[in-house]
Amino acid sequence: MKINPMANPNVLASYAASKPAPTRQKPGLNRDEVSFSDDAINFSKTLEKAREGIEVRTTEEKEHIASVTDAVRQGTYRIESDKIAEKILESVFRH
């Protein structure tokens, strides 16, 4: 199959010349802005306080957490339901 050459080779050149030049804007004129709702800001602050509370642990707490974590992973952790029930009842009747 033979493809005929373009009748006028200057067509592409004239098309390119007719396109407007891209406009360049001064830096800093178009900036994206992000705004957060009051609820989102309050949630972020609350979450940060919770993280701080979790991260502050005594050595004894860290050791206890590590031992419980290991026992759970090994399948040897025993849930003491009677102690859990006592603590629940104490908290209910304390208020």
Q: Is there a domain that residue 28 lies in?
A: no
pTM over 0.75: no
Q: What is the pLDDT of residue 76?
A: 95
Assess if residue 87 is contained within a domain: yes
Inside any domain, residue 58: yes
Quote the tokens at residue 81: 């339901």
Number of domains, the chain: 1
Model confidence over 8-45: pLDDT tens digits? 667 667 767 766 666 666 666 677 888 999 999 999 99
Longest CA span, the chain: 96
User: Is 93 inside any structural domain?
Assistant: yes
70 part of a folded domain: yes
pLDDT at 71: 94
What is the distance between the alpha carbons of residues 85 and 43, in angstroms, rounded to a whole number? 32
Specify whether the CB–CB gap between 68 and 77 falls below 8 A.
yes
Residue 2 lies in a domain: no
Domain that holds residue 42: 37-95
Q: How confident is the model at residue 81 (pLDDT cuts 50, 70, 90)?
A: very high
